[in-house]
Homo-oligomer: A and B are copies of this chain.
Amino acid sequence: MLLEKLNWRYATKKFDSSKSVPADKVARIVEAARLAPTSSGLQPFEVIVISNHALREKIQPIAFNQAQVVDASHLLVFAAWDNYTADRINAAFDLVNAERGFVSEGGENYRQMLLNGYVPRDAQVNFEHAARQAYIGFGLAIAAAAFEGVDATPMEGFDAAALDELLGLKAKGLKSVTILPLGYRDAANDWLVNLKKVRRPLDKFVTEIA
C-alpha cells in the first residue's frame, strides 16, 4: 500500500493552477510531519503553510523562478531549529511529563544528558542535526500527500537565507531547509509525468549480512 503510493508520486514539474488542495488534506499532510519520529522526541522543526498567492509570488524568484511555487495551491516550508537551547529541550521534556502525568528519574537523567551534550555544542552542528530530523518529517509529508492523491514537489532549490528573511524565520530561531509545493498535476504539460521512475537497482542499494 505504501509502496504503491510511493510509486504513484513523482516530483511534479507542472501544476494545474486552477485547482486547490482542500484544507483537510493539507492538515493531514502536516499531521504526518508532526507525528514523525525525531531524535529524543525533540521535534526540532516547524512547518509554515503558505496558501497566500502574493507571498508565493515573492518566493518564486528566491526559488530559482520555479513555477511550482506559484502554480501549486499551497507551499510547505520545513524550517529546522537554528540551535538546541536549554529552553527548547526543557519545553520538550516538560511537555512529555505534563502529557503523561508523571516525572521519571530515567527521563530526567536523559534530559540532563541532552542539556549537557547539546547546549554547549556548536550551533552549526546542532542545526545540522535538527535539519536531519526535519527531513524525516519532510519524507512523511511527501508520503502523506501521495495517500491524499495530492501532488507534491520536494525542493531544495531555493535561497534559504533569503526565504528566512522574507518569512521572518531568524527571529523565531528557525532556518528553512526544504520546501514542498502541494497541488494537482497538469499532466498534459508536465514533461516528467510519463517518464519512468528510476532508482538504483537493489544490488547497488542494499547489502545483506545474514
Contacts and interface: CB of A to CB of B under 8 A. Distances in A.
B205 A43 contact: yes
By secondary structure, the A interface counts as: helix
Nearest to A178: B132
A2 to B, nearest CB: 5
A183 interface: no
Q: Which of A6, A131, A154, A204 has the most CB of B within 10 A?
A: A6
Q: How many copies does the complex hold?
A: 2
A9 B35 CA distance: 10
A202 B47 CA distance: 10
Nearest to A96: B198
Q: Which of A3, A32, A99, A100 has the most CB of B within 10 A?
A: A3
A95 B201 CA distance: 10
Given A34-B200, A137-B139, 10 more contacts: A3-B28, A3-B35, A7-B35, A30-B206, A48-B206, A92-B200, A100-B196, A133-B135, A136-B154, A138-B139
